[in-house]
Amino acid sequence: MSARSIRTLVGILLVYAMSAGAQEFPVTPMPDPDERRALLIDSKRPPAAPASRTFRQAQSYLAQEDIDVTHYFLDIEFDDQQEEVDGKVEITATSLVDGLEHVLLDLHDNMSVTQVSRGLTGLSYQHAGDVLDVTLDRPFDESESLTIRVEYHGSPHSDALGLFGWNKYFGSNQTEMVWSLSEPQGARYWWPCKDRPDDKALVEEWWTVRSSWTATGNGRLDGVDNLSGSRKRYRWISTHPLPTYLVSVAATDYVSFSDTYTPIAGGTMPVNHYVYPELLSDAQESFSETVPMLEYFSLLFGEYPFVADQYGMSAFPFGGAMEHTANSSYGYVLIDGAHTYDFVVVHELVHQWFGDSVSPETWEDIWLNEGFATYGEALWFEHLDGLSGLHDYMATLWQSSFDGTLYDPTELFGATSYNKGAWVLHMMRKAMGDAAFFQGLQAWYTARQDSIGNTVQFQANQEAAWGQSLDWFFQQWVYGANRPRYELGHSTADAGGGLWRTYVGIDQTQSNAGLFTMPIDLALSTGGGDIVHTVWNDAADQMFVIETAVPVSDVTLDPDEWILKDSVTDVTLADDDGAGVPDAVDNCPDISNASQSDVDGDALGNPCDDDDDGDQLLDVDDCAPLDAAQGLPGTVETLAVVRGPGNPTDADLSWSSAVRANAYDLIRGLVSGLAGGYGSCHQSAIVGQTWLDADLPPAGEIFTYLVRGNDLGCGGGGSLGDDSSGAPRPSPCP
């Protein structure tokens, strides 16, 4: 997408958002934070930390770097009587090295492999330690393609890394359904694959189930085949690559209903929902906002990624939901005939862009999935209720602490990945501004659609959109832990002439983290309302001065809660003279100087400065104490006398300038008379620094000369310097 196209989408978004008030939206309640956490976070959270890879699994992971899987064909029959699967999976891959002799696949040991082949050639294999090691019939060189077929059967495993079930309802032991949830590494529990998020492939799924069931999968339904033995085969095909953890099956006695989405470029796309028969009416209401959500987020991020296929949801027995590509699995208990759980619908839908289309390169980058989907929830409430809806929703994501760092989190599916991830995007939006932030998200999706991305790449993407470095932001919020704790103090001084200065002191006092650099909004309360001023806080102890035309009665830090922070504590700024200027920055802390007047700029305010204009004259002796250009002139330091250029008997005098002098007085005497004085005032108020004396001294005498500066304005005559005793020389000039 061109930059122009991105800007156009932002423009469309703004128009669309402004017109939202004219649309009729159902009442969508703000979620309870604890319930939201239980549904979206705790439902996915493993009961214990996943075990680290075995040595064999680690070897397999490295060996898998030698291939790029491009296509999976899954032909699996789900035997609900025996609760087993009987599968034939074809894996097409490209060799990334010369001399490839082995293909290592992930397949849990609960599955029994009966045959592995390439075409008509049987291949030898070893299946142990949850790794299927296939020996190829010949070496394959770089760029060569190969397809191997694995036939297997068994009862799928289920644990913290992936779920597989046969129940339809919570607490039921009856086999009434088959369903899967393979995030993060559960695909291997029921089919052989390269089970990692960074290798996406096209997937074709043939699900065979009892004939009374409907089976849903990924992509679009390509056909249904009636088979012997009261069975049906549902053929699903994806037109976009997906990672293994998003491959899903959900089959039971579904009923379905459809809506229609109109893509940005025109045409239609089906929105198909599959629900339990008794929930049909409730689902038609609970899912009724799916199409408006598709419309909004397509304008915000770019066209829905799988518009060539479909979107929809399939009910299943889970406390939350799962963003399976083009067909999210949705907990049946959330279908209540109202819009209580619209935030869940939004969360899984936003994942279609961020997680499904742009997938994480590693699980350390999981916040690029969950943080984005969680912020999408807040964006939907902003769409419904404006900025107040956005900020109210973000408040539900706040909690007193988040464990660990956002990148490589302590818990893969913990609140850090979800809620802090959303907060980090929220703060990034504030730092970058709406235009650059959303252009960045569009560019991220457009550039990496059907591919993968990591945190370093996302930072570079946002920096390109903003035109500035975001390293300071990522270091403190993504790679660092904890958050700022602020102290806020303020005072206001009447600077005179209708000008008021408000001094705002911001200190960061957190002891468990370093400095957090952030733009901070300050709301200045006045009689006419609030004035919002943004400051750049990049020091642990910082004072800001804000000028207004009205007095300020109060200051609020971050009034709209853009920053994830521990607390803001109000403190009183020391102000000994009570003038409104804090002592820390007051240029005259003991004497009132509200205007902070400082004529000479020496950081000492006029009331405290004995020499206001810095002209080296105390104010009491200065005829113009506020004007350094006027006052007692300085001393003429040098005087030169040479023979005149025209007449060698003339004395040609020149002298150095004296500060504050705009004229000079010339005193002339005789050497013989020095004991009694320095002579008489030969010429006063000379403009310039030269004088030609054509007089000749009496026979046997020598003239003496002295020059002093003169300020004709108010300073008068300056000093003639000191005599040999250190006393000032008297001047005969008035």
* Long-range contact set of residues 592-596: C-beta below 8 Å, sequence gap at least 24: 594/493, 594/494, 594/495, 594/496, 595/493, 595/494, 595/495, 595/496, 596/493, 596/495, 596/501
Helix (H, G, I), strand (E, B) or coil at 47: coil
Residue 161 scores a pLDDT above 70: yes
Domain boundaries, the chain: 59-281, 485-570, 639-717
Mean pLDDT, range 593-610, rounded to an integer = 88
CB 356 within 8 A of CB 323: yes
**pTM score, whole prediction:** 0.85
pLDDT at 675: 79
Q: What is the mean pLDDT of the chain?
A: 92
Q: How crowded is the C-beta side of 718, counted as CA atoms within 13 Å?
A: 29
pLDDT at 166: 97
The CATH code belonging to domain 485-570 is 2.60.40
| E strand map for 214-366 | 214-216, 220-227, 231-237, 250-252, 255-261, 269-275, 311-316, 321-322, 328-331, 358-360
Using alpha carbons, select from 208, 309, 191, 311 the residue that is nearest to residue 251: 208
**Region for 26 from its dihedrals, namely left if φ exceeds 0, alpha if ψ lies in -120 to 50, beta otherwise:** beta
Confidence band of 54 (pLDDT split at 50, 70, 90): low
Give the span between the Cα atoms of 42 and 526, in whole angstroms: 45
Tell me the backbone φ, ψ of residue 388, rounded to 5 degrees. -65, -40
Amino acid at 350: V
Helix (H, G, I), strand (E, B) or coil at 709: strand
CA gyration radius for the chain? 41
**pLDDT, tens only, 707-732:** 999 999 888 898 998 888 889 999 99
Give the span between the Cα atoms of 597 and 493, in whole angstroms: 12
Residue 181 scores a pLDDT above 60: yes
Residue 624 scores a pLDDT above 90: no
Confidence band of 57 (pLDDT split at 50, 70, 90): low
pLDDT at 24: 63
Range scoring the smallest mean pLDDT among 12-26, 68-82, 370-384, 474-488: 12-26
pLDDT at 723: 87
Using alpha carbons, select from 66, 51, 60 the residue that is nearest to residue 132: 60
**pLDDT, tens only, 2-15:** 333 333 333 333 33
Tell me the backbone φ, ψ of residue 728, rounded to 5 degrees. -60, 135
Using alpha carbons, select from 348, 349, 368 the residue that is nearest to residue 358: 368
pLDDT at 14: 36
State how beta strands 311-316 and 269-275 pair. parallel
Mean pLDDT, range 21-34, rounded to an integer = 70
**pLDDT, tens only, 336-355:** 999 999 999 999 999 999 99
Mean pLDDT, range 570-596, rounded to an integer = 92
**What b-and-e string marks burial along 397-416, b requiring 16 or more CB atoms within 10 Å of the CB?**
beeeebeebbbbbebbbbbb
Confidence band of 52 (pLDDT split at 50, 70, 90): low
State how beta strands 100-106 and 131-140 pair. antiparallel
Helix (H, G, I), strand (E, B) or coil at 101: strand
Place of tokens 């590509």: 325
Burial class (CB within 10 angstroms; exposed 0-12, middle 13-18, buried 19+) of 682: buried
Q: Do domains 485-570 and 639-717 have the same CATH topology?
A: yes
3-state secondary structure 265-299: CCCCEEEEEEECHHHHHHHHHHCCCHHHHHHHHHH
More confident residue, 88 or 593: 88
Q: Say which CATH class 59-281 falls into.
A: mainly beta
Percent of the chain with pLDDT over 90: 80
Report the topology of domain 639-717: Immunoglobulin-like (2.60.40)
**pLDDT, tens only, 677-703:** 899 999 999 999 999 999 999 998 999
Give the span between the Cα atoms of 226 and 247, in whole angstroms: 23
Angle at 176 between CA 174 and CA 181, to 5 degrees: 105
